Structure 1
Amino acid sequence: MDPLLAKIEYWILDCVENEYSYLWEIRSVIEQRLVDVDKAKLDEYLCMGLSSVLTQGYVQAFAGIDFRGEEQLVPGFSISTSFIEQHKKAWQAGVEVDQDIRFLISDTGFEHYRQGCPPEYFS
């Protein structure tokens, strides 16, 4: 596996470990850690990393409004660059959406994160 992708996966798992996380929160974590990468490349890394952890079952996507119990698991959710672009445009325009997607670590993802995360990925 590409060492950078492995780091990005663990950064994502760290971000979604304790609560439902917005796409922009995950992007922000990657942006803070890859300070010298251009903004267009960040979306590519976000898509690759999130796609990887979703495919492996380490992260799950949920649809909801307030995320106070009404959220629903979205089985088989897959991320795309167009999904990221749509959400980025909405954030930049300050548009409120009726229903949003947030991400949360799965039990499998938590075990993988807890047992396999090299500490140097966060130094």
Structure 2
Amino acid sequence: MHRSVLLLLLWSGWVAGRDPFQPLAASRCQAAAAPQGWHLQGIAGRPAQFVAWLISPQGQSHRLRAQTAFPEAPWQVAELTARTLRLTAAHSCPPQHITWSIKGGHNEKDGTDVVSGAELAAAR
């Protein structure tokens, strides 16, 4: 009986142990490059039903709703209001956010702010 318990303990330690000579598995943390060349054209709709129109660097039009995937991974629509579109990269380290805002009048261009999680916490 004692041998079987000892063998079971040794075997379970062998299965759960990590080979110290092998490299560590890739981290779940990913660096997220900010999408370049995208332009927010406008946002329309009512609260909880807003739709944002964007133009890609290739000139294609894209419609985005709240909680949908952005065409470039790993970005996701986190928040969509009447005047802002906020994207987040969930598994980036530190967490990254991009906010596009509609500013000024009809003929003015949009602005983009890329903010890391640390900068966001410091701003609050």
What TM-score comes out, normalization by structure 2 length? 0.22
Larger Rg: 2
Higher RCO, 1 vs 2 (CA within 8 Å, ≥6 residues apart)? 1
In proportion to residue count, which structure has more helix? 1
